[in-house]
Every structure is written in structure tokens, then in C-alpha cells.
Structure 1
Amino acid sequence: MKNLNLDYLESFAVVIDSGSFSAAAEQLQLTQPAVSLQVRQLERSLNATLIERVGRRARPTAAGAALLSHAHQINAAVSSAVDAVAQQTTGTAGRVRLGTGATACIFLLPPILRELRAAMPSLEITVTTGNTAEIARAVEDNTIDIALVTLPVSGRSFEVAPVMNDEFVLIAPREMKLPARITPEVLASRPVLLFEPGGNTRRTADEWLARGGVSLKPLMSLGSVEAIKEMVRAGLGCAVLPGMAVPAKPRQHDLIVRSLSPKLYRRLAVVIRRDKRLDRGLRQTLAALKALTAAKNDGR
């Protein structure tokens, strides 16, 4: 190990993954000359050429490919060693800073966090809520480790893994007369409550209405799904909400729950920085969130 600098190894792997020194420099938050120097130093220490240019793309040589095949194992072994030391010195499994929307925080995360706590009682978990843009900026700034947000989200430094579809539904007071099919035209003639503007959830609903030729001015715009449901229960109007927030069979018989026509979904994804070092707690959290794919990907 004396000739293998782990920082240089990471720079090499990111260059290959991104395809260029400039893209790697952006992800690593280094200058391009610094990344080039680290790769040259790594090549010098191993006495081998590791990268070659094919057109405009940086690709591994045979020696580089051989090293790359071991890089993930090396990083995993180092992370495991660091975790082991941390547990001996601090007695903790680490800290995870998770960001998500308020709806997912209330209706999706509790069982996931319960299982994580059962598996790692000493794991410190903090949860921040906000819209996709706010949470994505926090991941980019490294003030949040991992996010579960509504697509779309973009960023060259992000790894984005879609995990589930969440079907939107209409909820209405029991006394509201509704046709069998809930189309945008139906909502145009009724008082409607929507999420406040600015987030992907509201934008998804607005786009669905626009595709149906409806430009709707909602009776109210609120930032809380629970507040919206209470307003509907009070008879103020109907609302379009993510399905995860509404039981398929409400325990109280004061709400009508209907699918929309055409059906409408939002897609949730896990977002993390590509260069994020995964300690034990973060690895477990990432795996738990990605497991939503198998459990929820068929919609509601």
C-alpha cells in the first residue's frame, strides 16, 4: 500500500467514470491540472500508463482496467476499516443526513427508519424536509448526505436512482357529486385545492391539467398534505394528492378517493453525490431506500 495513494486512486476512478479530466475535476471539486497531476503521480508510483484518450474520451489502458477492477474493493475495504475504528472509538454507526419531501417523510419513511434503527441502534439520523430543488442543492453542498425526492432532478455530480412511482388521486367530500371518470375537465368545474407552487409535485399536477386543456386557479394552495385533507373534510373542495398520502380505503367514511383519468404518477428517486464516501450507516440507508423499487414500483 505504500505506493498507492487512495486520493489518487479515487481521482483515477472518477476520470474513467466521467470520461474526462475536466468532468472529474468538477465532481472532485479540484482543478483539472490537480487531477492530471494526481493521475500522473499514480502512474509513476505503479510504473504503468493507466489512461489513454480515445477520441475525446478518457479510457483505461489494460493496466488501468486491471487497477479499476480492484478499486471498488479497495474503497470498500477502507470504508469497512474506518467504520470498525469509529465503532471502537465512538460506539456509533455513524451519522446520516437525509432529505426528502414532507409527504414522503410522513407516509413513507417511518417503517424504513424503524428498520434502520433496529439494525443499527447507534446510527444517528437527521431528516430535513423541503421541495426537490431545495433538497438537491443541499446534497450538492454536502449539507445533506442522501435524498429521496420527486423527479426531475439534475446535476452532473449526482447519482440518481429512480425507486418508485406514486399515483396521484382525487379526494373529495362524501357529498360531492362526481362522474365515474375524473378528467381535467371535471376539475375545471369544481373547487380544487392543490399543493403550493414551486415544487415538482405541484408542477406535475399543473402539467396534467394543462394536457387536458385546463388552466385551473385553485381555491387554495397549501404546503401541507394533512392541511389539505382537513380542508377537504370540511367540505371546502376536492384535492389532487400523491397516493401515498391517502389510504386506498380511508378508515373514515368522510372522503371519496378516485383515480385520475388519464392516470397521473410522480416518480421518486434516491439522489446522492457520486463522490460521496459511503460509511456503514449511509450504505445501509442507501440500500433501504433502493429496496423501494421492488416493493412499490407498480404504483400505489
Structure 2
Amino acid sequence: MRELNLDRLRTLVTIADLGSFAEAARVLHLAPPTVSLHIADLEAHIGAPLLVRKRGEVRPSGVGEALVERARRLLADADETLDLVQRQLQGLAGRVRLGASTGAIAHLLPQALEVLGQHHPGVDVQVAVLTSPETMERLASGTLDIGLVALPQPAVRGVVVLPWRRDPVMAFVPSAWASPRRATPCWLAGQPLILNDEGTSLSRLCKEWFAQAGEHPRARIQLNYNDAIKSLVAAGYGATLLPHEAATAAPLDPRIRMLPLQRPLWRPLGIAHREGGVERATQHVLDVLWQQ
């Protein structure tokens, strides 16, 4: 069976509202024979008369009334769908899927999302907590639109990665400890450590930083949640190495002291997205991120 045609349903609803083929043709900007053809096609499709003509007035039949009621809903849904698509094309609305680590989500995204909400309230950003390799994989498969990833990243076909920001890695130690003014690899290696999980880019950076000084410490505990790590440092459980996002960082717990490293270490981040045309909503999010 052929599917119902929305144009023909719109013609039926207009005739039912106006009670006239001629008026419907005028309102719909159609030739009268075209209006008659639309109704004839619908009646042939349904297999029953849809309109009753009496004394110059046209009214729906019983079957026609039921179809008109349903047609109104279908036409309203179609109009709403087209409006939504147009709003997305214009950048007034849309859904953007973004992947990032817990640290980036907690400390870098909130300010960007606040600015986005002020200027583009119709854009909905859905955030997924992912490692950088997971983010790159999902960008390549088309299930993400934007990723905040650690640099460098191996080239992935169809994905563009551009440098975004570079934050210093600092030592965070309990304030109660007797600590130097600058943390050296040797001093930190002798302390109980709370570090990021192995396999993360930050873990790799920190291992290389220690190894260049001939140190290979083992972490007392490994976590991926930087705020949880800082809570353990505040409790005196150990020291850690974490990026310091100066512009967006919350005030430091007084039980924690932040020390610069004797040999500076930086955590570089990039913004990744798929090659090709970028939808307007996605471009709005990218523009806000580049301003951070």
C-alpha cells in the first residue's frame, strides 16, 4: 500500500476547514483540478468517500472526519520537524556531542557552557567522560562531534586536531608537610603519591618527568578523578601531580599547598572534530571553546 502523501492530507484538512474546494485551492495556491485530484487520490487510497457535498457546502464523511483528525497531528508533527531542522541549519538549536576527560569537564567546560548558554540557549551539549583515545575513536566513527584531547595524538583519518591550551603541571602536597619551595623529582619520588591511572596521557607525562631524573616511583593509589585526588591530598594521604588551569581553577583548599616543579612540566590539550563541513551548532561550541 502506498504511503499517505502529506500534501494531499493538507488539501483534505484545508477543504474540511473552509468547506469549499475553490477556497482551498485559493489558500493553498493550487489549481482547482489539482485539489480535486488530491482528494480523488486519497479516496482511491483509502477506498471510501472522504467528503460529502451538499447544497454547495463540503463536509467530511465519517471516515473523512477520522482521517482529518489524524492528518492534523501528522501535519503539525511534520511542520514542527521542519522547523527544528531549519533552526539547526541556522544555528539557533541543535545537539552537540562532546567527549573529554573528567579534569577538562570539571575545570574547563563549565565556563564555556555558561557563555554558550548566554549566546546560544538553543544549543544542547551532551558531554561524555572519555579518555583521549576513546574520544578520537568516537570522532572517527561519527558518534561524537567535538573532543578535548591530550596532545600529541596519533593521526586518525577524518579527524582534525588543533592545539588549544597548555597548562602547567604542579605538585599538590599536604600543607602540614615540610616541603621545599619547588618540588623536584627526587623529593616527590620519596613521598607517598596519588597519581592518575596508568594509560592516561597525564600519567605518561608524569612518568617521563620522573624518568628523566632517574626516578621511577610507584603510586600509592591511582585515580582518574582529580577532585578526589585533591581531597586525599588535603587529608594528608599523599602528594600528586596535576595540571593547574589558572583562569578557571577553584580556590585551593587551605590544607593543600601547590608547588611549582623544579623542572617545568606542561599538559597540552587540543580540540578535535571531524573533517568536512561543521554544523552551525557545533561551530558555535567550537567558537566558545577557542575563546577560553
Q: Name the TM tier (shorter chain).
A: 0.5 to 0.7
Matched, 1:168 2:169: yes
Shift of 1:157: 2.1
1-structure distance, mates of 2:89, 2:260 = 53
Whether contact under 8 Å (2:88, 2:94) holds in the other structure is no
Whether contact under 8 Å (1:136, 1:147) holds in the other structure is yes
Shift of 1:289: 1.7
2-structure distance, mates of 1:116, 1:246 = 18
Query: Structure 1's 83 and 158: CA in aligned 2 closer, same or farther, altered over 3 A?
Result: farther
Amino acid at match of 1:99: G
TM-score (norm 1): 0.65
Matched, 1:290 2:290: yes
1-structure distance, mates of 2:230, 2:242 = 9
2-structure distance, mates of 1:204, 1:133 = 15
Shift of 1:204: 0.9
Shift of 1:92: 5.5
1-structure distance, mates of 2:161, 2:290 = 11
Matched, 1:241 2:242: yes
- Which residue of structure 2 lines up, in the alignment, with residue 140 of structure 1? 140
- Which residue of structure 2 lines up, in the alignment, with residue 128 of structure 1? 128
2-structure distance, mates of 1:272, 1:174 = 41
Amino acid at match of 2:274: R
- Which residue of structure 2 lines up, in the alignment, with residue 49 of structure 1? none
Unaligned runs of 5+ in 2: 1-81
1-structure distance, mates of 2:89, 2:275 = 28
2-structure distance, mates of 1:194, 1:229 = 10
Amino acid at match of 1:113: L
Shift of 1:156: 3.2
Of 83-92 and 168-177, deviating more is 83-92
Query: Structure 1's 97 and 108: CA in aligned 2 closer, same or farther, altered over 3 A?
Result: same
Query: Structure 1's 144 and 248: CA in aligned 2 closer, same or farther, altered over 3 A?
Result: closer
Shift of 1:192: 0.9
SS of aligned partner of 2:258: strand
Structure 1, residues 24-48: CA drift from partner, whole Å, max 9, x if none?
A: xxxxxxxxxxxxxxxxxxxxxxxxx
Of 241-250 and 117-126, deviating more is 241-250
Query: Structure 1's 221 and 161: CA in aligned 2 closer, same or farther, altered over 3 A?
Result: same
Query: Structure 1's 166 and 88: CA in aligned 2 closer, same or farther, altered over 3 A?
Result: closer
Of 283-292 and 111-120, deviating more is 283-292
- Which residue of structure 1 lines up, in the alignment, with residue 190 of structure 2? 189
Amino acid at match of 1:195: N
Whether contact under 8 Å (1:194, 1:218) holds in the other structure is yes
- Which residue of structure 2 lines up, in the alignment, with residue 199 of structure 1? 200
- Which residue of structure 2 lines up, in the alignment, with residue 265 of structure 1? 266
Shift of 1:250: 4.0
Structure 1, residues 4-25: CA drift from partner, whole Å, max 9, x if none?
A: xxxxxxxxxxxxxxxxxxxxxx
Shift of 1:288: 1.6
1-structure distance, mates of 2:223, 2:255 = 20
Query: Structure 1's 188 and 146: CA in aligned 2 closer, same or farther, altered over 3 A?
Result: same
SS of aligned partner of 1:244: coil
Structure 1, residues 104-153: CA drift from partner, whole Å, max 9, x if none?
A: 10111111011112111111210111111111111111110011111121
After superposing on structure 2, the runs of 4+ consecutive aligned residues of structure 1 that deviate more than 3 Å are 82-85, 88-92, 245-252
- Which residue of structure 2 lines up, in the alignment, with residue 150 of structure 1? 150
Shift of 1:290: 2.1
- Which residue of structure 2 lines up, in the alignment, with residue 97 of structure 1? 97
**Within 5 A, what are the aligned runs for 1:55-134?**
86-87=86-87, 93-134=93-134
2-structure distance, mates of 1:182, 1:290 = 32
Query: Structure 1's 284 and 249: CA in aligned 2 closer, same or farther, altered over 3 A?
Result: closer
2-structure distance, mates of 1:101, 1:288 = 18
Aligned length: 210
Whether contact under 8 Å (1:170, 1:238) holds in the other structure is yes
SS of aligned partner of 2:245: helix
Tell me which structure has the larger Cα radius of gyration: 2
Shift of 1:180: 2.4
Amino acid at match of 2:105: C
- Which residue of structure 1 lines up, in the alignment, with residue 281 of structure 2? 281
Shift of 1:220: 0.7
Amino acid at match of 1:270: I
Name the % identity. Answer: 32
SS of aligned partner of 2:113: helix
- Which residue of structure 2 lines up, in the alignment, with residue 213 of structure 1? 214
Whether contact under 8 Å (1:159, 1:272) holds in the other structure is yes
Unaligned runs of 5+ in 1: 1-81, 293-300
Whether contact under 8 Å (1:169, 1:257) holds in the other structure is yes
